[in-house]
Amino acid sequence: MEFAAESCLLHKSVFFIILMSLCLSAFMGAYSRTENLSMNQNSESSSPFPSNFLFGTATSSYQVEGAFSSDGKGLSNWDVFTHKPGKIMDGTNGDIADDEYHQYQEDVGLMEEIGVNSYRFSISWARILPKGRFGKVNKQGLDYYDRLINALLRKGIEPFVTLTHFDIPQELEDRYQSWLSPKIQEDFKYYADICFKKFGDRVKYWVTINEPNVAVIRGYRIGIWPPSRCSASFGNCSHGNSEKDPFVAAHNLILSHVSAVQLYRTKYQKKQGGEIGIVMDAIWFEPFSNSLEDKLAAERAQSFFLNWFLDPIILGKYPSEMKEILGQDLPEFSKYEVEKLKKNGIDFIGVNHYTSYYAKDCFFSECEPGSGASKTEGFALYVHDKNGISLGDKTTVDWLYVRPQGLEKMVTYLKERYNNLPMFITENGYGEVEDPNSTTRDIVNDVQRVNYLSSYLNSLAKAIRKGADVRGYFVWSLLDNFEWKYGENVRFGLHHVDYGTLNRTRRLSALWYKHFIAQNLPHKPPTLSIL
């Protein structure tokens, strides 16, 4: 399989393209034989993906846009954080990133080549409101997103827009500690209002917040992301309380979310006809053993990681395990807030799924030192092997283990818990650390990424066949981009980016995805005639 893929790489000429397509066919044949992913299974007649399914790619503002202080943009929390020494592993930042702010047309062209029918991107809050609600709206910021949305629509690509993907105006942090203050709820609503009003005539899919669970754990519990808050026993921070702040921040995130949803429902949805949801990081937790204690730990892990947000947003209350364990440390919703939550549920759950972990009990037993576990919740978040055997293939990214069956399990779990509410897989992708000595051939020959994507899509297909209402799938990411703490060193792209020249080079996975989409969305033929 590797030989088939490797032996046909690497010229930008037509010759190269023909060779790549031949190579890809050989590769696909080999792949479907060896991995039992029959392409017939996804053929026109038997594709499990409905004909209006969204196949897309995803990015976020801070990770791709660059232009961090151009055209009136204000500083975001990530602009400030990455400029502090020692915060980012390779010392890079998102000042330029992929420069999508200037190269968006080229990037839309890359999507067109693949044949995606949707692009998930986020709006930079600080580009629209450089000082949050304490300053003026930046017209040049609005103009940029107008241009991007129009360029997408011209190519038949549906914009799928997130209002905040970890980056917020620094002003909100400086003035009132952002998510730690209830003040942010009105500010978020004010910002959402501007976006719905300006772009809602063309944007039909809105995400309020990306992965609030991750933002809160990394920013307020272990302190490795802005605003760098944690207790001494959880990390290296100068201030913060890891046992309390995350729950306060989460509470304000939930209430900010619901304020934006309520606004959309009452003022815009009828007229604009769109949908609104939230995106969660959804790790699948396997019990470490068959013991009742580990099974309960896996349930607690889901509650403390995922249902923490989804239960209030969908059911109007925190999970019972959280209430029992946290008591007073878990903020309470007022009667009015409960009503507001219940009345303003979401239209879809956005699921970011990459990996699975074991959940190992330490509620009824002692937590292993160094496992990252807290006695409070009683499980360790990142256990990935048992007696030296990993629960999925290791990658060069420390947190990423390849376990495709986790996606089917995750989707099925959500289907059952939330009454088959529509879902979008808003992110799924394969990251790797780039070896500085790699040749162009190595860089584009991303066979592992192809294997990863096809096996996860296969797993998703199984869940859909069993009745899960999944309406779209987005590969993270269209192109290599600024991977937060890891900087430019970890790459997830269907396209390689040379950060010196900003040249984009198509990887094998982009061709594979093109082929996959063409087989599963037969009504939208690929634009390139080679496949």
Q: Which residues bind ligand NOJ (CB under 6 A)?
A: 60, 63, 210-211, 352, 427, 476, 483, 492
Instruction: Give the pair of three-digit tokens for residue 446.
Output: 């991303």
113 included as an active-site residue: no
DSSP state string for 218-238: IIIIS-SSTT----TTTSS-S
CA distance 286 to 143: 46
Among 65, 211, 286, 408, which one carries the catalytic annotation? Answer: 211
- On the CB side of 282, CA atoms within 13 Å amount to 26
From the candidates 286, 408, 427, 432, which is the catalytic residue? 427
SS3 254: helix
Minimum CB separation from ligand NOJ for residue 428, in Å? 10
State how far the Cα of 303 lies from the Cα of 297, in Å rounded to an integer: 10
Closest C-alpha to 57, from 509, 511, 474:
474
Amino acid identity at 108: V
- CB nearer ligand NOJ, residue 100 or residue 211: 211
In the complex, least distance from residue 63 CB atom to ligand NOJ, rounded to whole angstroms: 6
Q: Quick one: 65 or 427, whose CB is closer to ligand NOJ? A: 427
Q: How far apart are CA 367 and CA 177, in angstroms?
A: 32
| Nearer Cβ to ligand NOJ (333/492) | 492
**Which is nearest to 350 in space by CA: 450, 275, 258?**
275
In the complex with ligand NOJ, the residue whose CB is nearer, 132 or 431, is 431
Distance of closest approach, residue 368 Cβ to ligand NOJ, in angstroms? 26
In the complex with ligand NOJ, the residue whose CB is nearer, 322 or 402, is: 402
CB of 65 to ligand NOJ, least distance (A): 13
- Alpha-carbon gap, residue 386 to 392, rounded angstroms: 11
Hey, what's the torsion of the CAs at 165, 116, 432, 480, to 10 degrees?
Answer: -60
C-beta of residue 224 within 8 angstroms of C-beta of residue 237: no
Which residue, 193 or 434, is less far from ligand NOJ as judged by CB?
434
Residue 119 has what DSSP assignment?
E
Q: CA-to-CA distance for 59 and 435, rounded, in angstroms?
A: 23
Beta bridge partners of 164: 209
Whether 427 sits among the annotated catalytic residues: the reply is yes
CA angle 294, 295, 300 (to 5 degrees): 90
**Of 220 and 484, which CB lies nearer to ligand NOJ in the complex structure?**
484
Other beta carbons within 10 Å of 425 = 27
| Nearest CB to ligand NOJ, comparing residues 451 and 520 | 451
Q: Report d(CA 59, CA 162) in Å as an integer.
A: 10
Burial (CB count within 10 angstroms: exposed 0-12, middle 13-18, buried 19+), residue 292: exposed
Crossing angle for the helix pair 14-35 and 447-465, nearest 10 degrees?
50
CB 510, min distance to ligand NOJ, A: 18
Positions annotated as catalytic residues are: 211, 427
